């Protein structure tokens, strides 16, 4: 059978996807090969079909136990003899499987990289006729890759110890040009045939959102997608468990998945999702690699991941069937702190930590850019073939007008210059807003000319401006333990007035919203006599309760909560709980009293 016959007979497909046929043909001619193909691009067929056709056995080096098991089960279901060896099976079972290899009862063996240098395994495998070695998730060999595994550095050593060098191939979904070069160098690929597929997934709609209430945004989104499958990624196990509880308490059936669960529970959750019994999975990055569910309609990152490679790979699990799907990254500044903490706890060398912080900064810039999100993604991987407006991401479809922030940008850049580029974003914000913070006063930063020169932005709004300047490459933030803001060459044109800076109006208004609301809301309420009358009744009742309990009135409800009640006029518990400052205990103690006043008004 030729490769087309095998594709039809074992896999049930009539046509190869882009790049598959070329890479298979070159492997069958005896060439080493490198395939950089996006999630869902069909990498596994590129080495499985040659493994079936070549004389001898093929070793597939894979980093994840769950992935090996799924791949082997799939191959066996298709009538292809395959097995795996990893830490999940006993030594007796390892012996049995090695015997099956020797007797040609197994054609394809999946093996973990940690197993390769085991003396027992190495001595037995050397005696076998190995036709092909395929290194899956090959980016793991590169220190510049997002998922560096030291055990991958043993692969070239293992290959050199074999009696005869087989064809060596490497595959991954995510590799920058730098990582690609290092894969070829470290694996010692010999003049490999290369396929680097287009990184653009046209059916995926990318968006970055910055909601004030993440959970409410998520809940509303899922309710509108109640019949569709989706994955929600979180940064930590604790967040996964918490989010699952909140979703289920809200009537949204969801299941959690993370490395802290036992293998049985993880398998049960995964199978439930794959078989459509569960529509929503909340998971850490432990979930997804090798998951080929085709109809995932949305992938939401509840927390920002550590880098663009991870984001691209995880978001790419949406829409593998080619249908339109959504990839939403929910950004908040606290996610940056969380990811930097996880990096610092990684117990790695200084150089590796620096690399991870640089990669994280690119993703932070992605969250603040006004440019096409799709283009920012493919540019990261070295592609520059997209138009400036893709028409299929949240930035390109944003109709909010651009506003000129050049003067504010000059003030920010000047402040950084006048403080000798010695401080981080928090202290610069404090100086610009005229803070009396002890550090500001101790450093005598209240004496410089840029102290207190910005008073029209909240702290959050000013932070957005600074992050925007970083994303536009007018500023940079160092990757040290205490990141410092530094001017870049391009900032000179702004300071000299030779270049203007613009930002989307909604980007800055959303961040600055709290300050604006507090000014305008009272004005709106006071203009409406009925609202004023109701507000006064609420204030009177609050005062009565306060005197009865001998507590200050604001402890019951702040004025702003009563103002919202008077304006919005909630009719029941659910509506009252939407008012800022009304929690479960406050409702239990006072909620019905104030609802009665509102409903009787």
pLDDT tens-digit series, residues 240-266:
999 999 999 999 999 999 989 997 898
Enumerate the domain spans of the chain.
3-196, 204-380, 402-511, 515-600
Q: Are strands 485-487 and 475-477 parallel, antiparallel or unpaired?
A: antiparallel
Position with higher pLDDT, 356 vs 130: 130
User: Domain 402-511, what architecture?
Assistant: Orthogonal Bundle (1.10)
Taking residues 341-356, report their average pLDDT.
83
Position with higher pLDDT, 365 vs 63: 365
Predicted confidence (pLDDT) per residue in 481-524, tens digit: 688 999 999 999 999 999 999 999 888 877 675 444 333 333 33
To the nearest whole percent, how much of the chain has pLDDT over 90?
63
Query: Taking 60 as the threshold, does the pLDDT of residue 569 lie above it?
Result: yes
User: Domain 515-600, what architecture?
Assistant: Orthogonal Bundle (1.10)
| CATH no. for 3-196 | 3.40.50.300
Neighbours of 53 (CB within 10 A): 17
Position with higher pLDDT, 1 vs 330: 330
Distance CA 32, CA 26 (A): 8
pTM of the model: 0.74
Decide if 3-196 and 204-380 have a common fold: yes
Q: How confident is the model at residue 527 (pLDDT cuts 50, 70, 90)?
A: low
Position with higher pLDDT, 164 vs 63: 164
**Neighbouring-strand partners of residue 132:** 58, 167
| CATH no. for 204-380 | 3.40.50.300
Predicted confidence (pLDDT) per residue in 197-215, tens digit: 888 999 999 999 999 899 9
Taking residues 129-146, report their average pLDDT.
91
- Detail the DSSP E strand segments found in 219-334: 229-233, 254-257, 280-283, 296-301, 325-330
| CA 306-312-314 angle, 5° bins | 80
């Amino acid at each position: 059978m030729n490769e087309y016959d095998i594709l039809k007979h074992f896999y049930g497909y009539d046509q190869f996807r882009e790049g598959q046929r070329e890479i298979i043909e070159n492997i069958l001619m005896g060439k080493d090969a490198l395939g950089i193909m996006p999630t869902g691009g069909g990498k596994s067929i590129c080495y499985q079909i040659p493994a079936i056709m070549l004389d001898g056995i093929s070793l597939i080096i894979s980093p994840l136990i769950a992935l090996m098991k799924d791949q082997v089960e799939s191959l066996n279901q298709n009538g292809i003899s395959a097995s795996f060896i990893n830490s999940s099976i006993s030594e007796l079972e390892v012996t049995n499987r090695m015997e099956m290899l020797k007797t040609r009862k197994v054609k394809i063996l999946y093996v973990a990289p940690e197993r390769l240098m085991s003396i027992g395994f190495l001595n037995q495998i050397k005696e076998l006729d190995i036709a092909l070695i395929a290194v899956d998730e090959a980016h793991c060999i590169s220190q510049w890759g997002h998922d560096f595994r030291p055990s991958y550095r043993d692969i070239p050593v293992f290959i050199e110890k074999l009696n005869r060098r087989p064809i060596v191939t490497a595959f991954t979904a995510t590799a920058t040009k730098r990582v690609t070069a290092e894969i070829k160098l470290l694996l010692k690929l010999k003049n490999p045939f290369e396929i680097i597929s287009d990184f653009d997934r046209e059916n995926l709609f990318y968006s970055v959102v910055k909601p004030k209430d993440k959970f409410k945004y998520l809940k509303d989104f899922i309710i509108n997608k109640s019949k569709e499958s989706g994955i929600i990624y979180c940064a930590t196990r604790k967040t996964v468990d918490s989010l699952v509880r909140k979703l289920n308490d809200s009537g949204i059936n969801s299941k959690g998945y993370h490395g802290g669960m036992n293998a049985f529970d993880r398998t049960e959750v995964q199978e439930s999702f794959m078989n459509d019994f569960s529509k929503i999975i909340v998971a850490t990055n432990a979930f997804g690699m090798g998951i080929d569910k085709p109809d995932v309609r949305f992938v939401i990152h509840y927390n920002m991941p550590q880098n663009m490679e991870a984001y691209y790979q995880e978001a790419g699990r949406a829409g593998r069937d080619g249908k339109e799907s959504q990839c939403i990254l929910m950004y908040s500044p606290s996610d940056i702190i969380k990811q930097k903490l996880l990096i610092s706890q990684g117990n790695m060398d200084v150089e590796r930590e620096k690399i991870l912080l640089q990669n994280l900064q690119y993703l932070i810039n992605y969250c603040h850019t006004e440019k096409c999100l799709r283009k920012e993604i493919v540019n990261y991987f070295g592609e520059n073939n997209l138009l400036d407006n893709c028409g299929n991401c949240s930035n390109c479809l944003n109709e909010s007008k651009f506003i000129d922030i050049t003067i504010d940008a000059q003030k920010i850049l000047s402040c950084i210059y006048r403080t000798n580029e010695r401080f981080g974003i928090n202290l610069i914000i404090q100086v610009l807003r005229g803070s009396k913070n002890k550090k500001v006063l101790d450093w005598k930063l209240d004496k410089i000319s840029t102290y207190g020169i910005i008073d029209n932005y909240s702290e959050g709004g000013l932070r957005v401006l600074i992050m925007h300047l970083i994303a536009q490459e007018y500023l940079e933030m160092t990757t040290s333990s205490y990141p410092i803001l530094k001017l870049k060459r391009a900032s000179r044109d702004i300071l000299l007035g030779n270049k203007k800076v613009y930002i989307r109006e909604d980007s800055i208004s959303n961040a600055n919203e709290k300050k604006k609301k507090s000014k305008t809301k009272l004005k709106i309420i006071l203009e409406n006599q009925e609202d004023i009358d109701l507000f006064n009744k609420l204030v009177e009742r609050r005062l009565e309760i306060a005197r009865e309990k001998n507590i200050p009135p604001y402890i019951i409800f702040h004025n702003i909560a009563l103002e919202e009640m008077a304006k919005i006029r909630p009719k029941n518990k659910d509506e009252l709980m939407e008012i800022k400052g009304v929690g479960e205990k406050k409702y239990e103690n006072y909620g019905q009293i104030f609802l009665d006043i509102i409903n009787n008004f």
